[in-house]
Amino acid sequence: MDKTKQHGTASKRSARRYHYDIIGDVHGHANELVALLKQMDYREINGVYLHDERKAVFVGDFTCRGPETRRTIDIVRKMVENETGYAILGNHEMNAIAHFTKNKEGKPFKTATGSNKKVMDRIKAEYIYEKEQLKTDIKWLRQLPFSLDFGSFRVVHAYWSDDHLNLLRENMPKGKLTKKVLTRMHTPDTRLAIAMRQTTRGIELNLPHDLVIKDHRNIRRTNYRIKWWTSPQNKTFEQVSYGNKFSLPQYTIPKELLPVFDVYPEKAPVVFVGHYCVDQKQMIPAPNICCVDNCLANGGQLAAYRWNGELPLKSTNFVFQRKMGSFEF
């Protein structure tokens, strides 16, 4: 029985027992998504991709950055609406929702700036002759959950916290991000804003002001992503780092800098996440944590983990979209 909890409500999808393919951050790369689905023996019928024995699960960030957000949304939306797949919200979906949804003053909830503005302009250009479709797709995104709980495994974009997810669920009683909720989510430092940000962006640790760290693009970083499945106490900056493209000091984090968050328990169900853009060796960083984001938007590959109920997780269950010079293991 397929019992999936979205916003805490059990949903019986089918009497048939399915296995699942948890697909990493697509970022608007529709061609790569189609190639991966076909590689995993999904077939297209009447515009919908399906598999007789499996369902796809998208971990968020299937929009933005790549060249075909509009087409990617169409593929994912049809799968969700026809119950051949599931999808959750990532930080890039939240960026698109905030930019393209107008508040009561007729302004975006959060206007994109810098490189994000270029991304939003590119998405808008994709819908240049379908402006109503853009509104419809954004409204559909607002109906997606922040997490999924399949019982034996869970899916969230960046950080699983029961408290955060309960708060988000309580503020979406009809399973939709209303404009009233979006207003509170974009009010800085409210509990709801923190819950949304950490759920979709993970836990970030601020660096000391006198510590100058630059990433691979020579940009100074003032904070970095950390492992939320282990306590940061008595550990070095480098030991708690995860998914960062720069080296960190090998000395213990001062107590005054330690973030306060709920550490994910070792015996809790497996959680699949995206977001972190890691290489293949780092995709299973803990027995019950699996990241399926292999950096497609940064020269990597679109990845999926084929979940068949196994524990421990197996690196051989990953599938990587084939391209020149790549491989599957």
In this predicted structure, what is the pLDDT of residue 72? 98
Same domain, yes or no: 152 and 246: no
Residue at 243: amino acid letter: G
Token pair recorded at residue 143:
């109906």
In this predicted structure, what is the pLDDT of residue 18? 84
Q: Domain ends where: 260, 279, 296?
A: 260
Q: Is 10 part of any domain?
A: no
d(CA 222, CA 224) in angstroms, rounded, equals 7
Q: Domain ends where: 244, 260, 276?
A: 260
Same domain, yes or no: 49 and 184: yes
Same domain, yes or no: 141 and 288: yes
Q: Is 169 part of any domain?
A: yes
pLDDT of the chain, 329 residues: tens digit per residue: 344 655 443 333 443 578 999 999 999 999 999 999 999 999 999 999 999 999 999 999 999 999 999 999 999 999 999 999 999 999 999 999 999 999 888 899 999 999 999 999 999 999 999 999 999 999 999 999 999 999 999 999 999 999 999 999 999 989 999 999 999 999 988 999 999 999 999 999 988 888 888 877 788 888 899 999 999 999 999 999 999 988 898 999 999 889 899 999 999 999 999 999 999 999 999 999 999 999 999 999 999 999 999 999 999 999 999 864 443 43
Range of the domain at 279: 15-198+265-320
Same domain, yes or no: 177 and 208: no
Q: What is the DSSP letter of 199?
A: H
Same domain, yes or no: 166 and 224: no
Q: Is 165 part of any domain?
A: yes
If you search the block for the tokens 């909890």, which residue do you land on? 5
If you search the block for the tokens 């503020």, which residue do you land on? 171
Domain count, the chain: 2
Q: Report in angstroms the alpha-carbon separations of 329 from 94, 130, 216, 303, 320.
A: 33, 41, 28, 11, 8
In this predicted structure, what is the pLDDT of residue 16? 58
Q: Is 9 part of any domain?
A: no
In this predicted structure, what is the pLDDT of residue 9? 35
| Total residue count of the chain as it appears in this document | 329
Taking alpha carbons only, the member of 142, 114, 138 closest to residue 126 is 138
Same domain, yes or no: 59 and 135: yes
